[in-house]
Amino acid sequence: MQRLIQGLRNFQEEIFPAKRELFESLAKGQQPSTLFITCADSRVVPDLFTQSEPGELFVIRNAGNIVPPFSRQPGGVTATIEFAVVALGVRHIVVCGHTDCGAMKGLLHPEKLAAMPTVASWLMQADATRRLVLENYETADEAQLIDAMIRENVLVQLRNLETHPSVASRVARGDLSLYGWIYDISAGQVDSFDAAEQRYIRLDGTSQPHATPVARLQKDNLASL
Ligand SMILES: [Zn+2]
């Protein structure tokens, strides 16, 4: 804890004064461009690896970067998505998994979660990922299975995201873009799912792959419905 308190002091003495104008403007409100949904893992720091400033990313974190399918039951993830999309009007949503994800390991080996029944229940929301991988990656070894779980899970959670009414409506009219990212902890690299090519592409600044479905209800397309 001493380490954190020292860090806070350093922030107050060095960082805050250097960015005083930014913090003063943020004190009046926020207009983040992006809802960033990622794992709770301490090694995944989206503000750092995207070099974002305070006020840019609206973040949801949980074990396994899971987006429960829409339900009217109260839920922290569901309510926070609705707030980000409706009240804040974010224009982008990133679902970001990562290498060496403990949640995905637990999903692959539920027998190891016997002492953590709540974690096991939470991860049941990624059952589609588990089944999809086990039935379609039959020749994969352990490391390949974990990798497949991480990558397929991001795509399953992106589909869950589209069951949320506020998201579905804006995606349909091309007003909200979706992205599926995998952050590689050991390399500092990000792979992004490309809906056009149906595969992950390394983000190197030359292209902007995205996972957004075709905007069927854009004004130009409505006449053909
Ligand atoms: Zn994780």
What does the pLDDT look like over 203-224, one tens digit per residue? 998 989 999 988 888 776 665 6
Task: Output the pLDDT for position 126.
Answer: 96
Q: Where are the domains of the chain?
A: 1-29, 31-216
Distance 152 CA to ligand 1 centre (A): 14
Task: Output the pLDDT for position 215.
Answer: 84
Q: Is the pLDDT of residue 99 over 90?
A: yes
- Show the tokens assigned to 224: 């053909």
Distance 209 CA to ligand 1 centre (A): 23
CA distances from 122 to 32, 69, 106, 114, 169 (A): 28, 12, 11, 13, 27
Distance 108 CA to ligand 1 centre (A): 13
Distance 211 CA to ligand 1 centre (A): 21
Q: Is the pLDDT of residue 47 over 90?
A: yes
Task: Output the pLDDT for position 77.
Answer: 97
For residues 15, 16, 19, 22, the Cα torsion angle rounded to the nearest 10 degrees is 140
- Show the tokens assigned to 42: 């301490």
The per-residue DSSP string of 158-173 comes to HHHHTTSHHHHHHHHT
**Helical axes 142-161 vs 127-136, angle rounded to 10°:** 130
Buried b (16+ CB within 10 A) or exposed e, 94-109: bbbbbbebebbbbbbe
SS3 8: helix
Distance 199 CA to ligand 1 centre (A): 21
Measured CA to CA, the distance from residue 143 to residue 106 in angstroms comes to: 13
Distance 16 CA to ligand 1 centre (A): 30
Q: What is the pLDDT of residues 138-187, one digit of tens each?
A: 999 999 999 999 999 999 999 999 999 999 999 999 999 999 999 999 99
Distance 67 CA to ligand 1 centre (A): 13
Task: Output the pLDDT for position 221.
Answer: 67
Task: Output the pLDDT for position 218.
Answer: 77
Q: Which amino acid is at 171?
A: V
Distance 111 CA to ligand 1 centre (A): 18
Domain 31-216 classification at class level: alpha beta
> Is the pTM value of this prediction over 0.75?
yes
Task: Output the pLDDT for position 118.
Answer: 97
- Show the tokens assigned to 193: 């799912």
Phi and psi at residue 222, in whole multiples of 5°?
A: -60, -35
Distance 19 CA to ligand 1 centre (A): 31
Distance 196 CA to ligand 1 centre (A): 27
Among the listed residues 26, 159, 161, 150, the one whose alpha carbon sits nearest the alpha carbon of residue 80: 161
Distance 171 CA to ligand 1 centre (A): 27
Task: Output the pLDDT for position 224.
Answer: 60
- pLDDT-above-70 percentage for the chain: 97
Distance 190 CA to ligand 1 centre (A): 15
